[in-house]
Structure 1
Amino acid sequence: MDWVVDTSDGSQDWVQVLLEQGYAVLPDWPESPETAVRSVVALLNDYENKHVVIVLHQQGRDIELSIRQSRELALRLRDQVIAEGISQNRIEAYGAGALSPSVLGGRRQLAVVILTDQE
């Protein structure tokens, strides 16, 4: 079962998908990291009672290496969002590497945003 909704073609607004499902693919990642950061910042500014978890998926045959690299990228993305004024308590980041290959759908890398109520 493919649990990731691909919004890269613009057919659905990613925030609407996120609000409905609780998760969505972060648009413009990894092609435009700056735009992806702005999207997360705007989301958190619009929904001040929400918290996000970013899970970065990445291709790779070496599972440990792909987990480590995706974790580093996820943490970098989180740090960029925090640098834009978002509290570190409102964002978490994890790297899943190649542990869930089916979610990639032929892509080398994608980031999934999971939306929760702020704790």
Structure 2
Amino acid sequence: MSCKLSKITIACTDILKMTEFYSKVFNIRFAEHEFPGFKMYSSKITDINFLFCPNEIAGVIAEQNRHQFDYVTDNIQEVIDNTLSSGGSMHGELQKSDNGSSVTVLDPDGNTINFIQMS
């Protein structure tokens, strides 16, 4: 048996802030999908499909994320700058080692995202 991840759905508290944040940090555009009473937004980050839906329709009761995604980047400072200028925040300091740098940021809903830049 083989499995392949096809999509990640994120239930958002503030979906507009979330789409703005992810658009800027990952340099992507979202497609808007209108339904009676709500909107969802979809895009791709690398080869992974992402869907943002309102938390109210997802029925999720969680105060913090249950998953953390790690992304490899070629410019960690640009990620930090884009995070801070688009409603996100730092979760700790930039960590540096002989192998590279890493930083964990928070999106507008408080989900952690880890970025790694290899040396």
TM-score by length of 1: 0.26
Higher relative contact order (CA 8 A, sep 6+): 1
- Please identify which structure carries the higher helix content: 1
TM-score by length of 2: 0.26
Structure showing greater Rg: 2
- Please identify which structure carries the higher strand content: 2
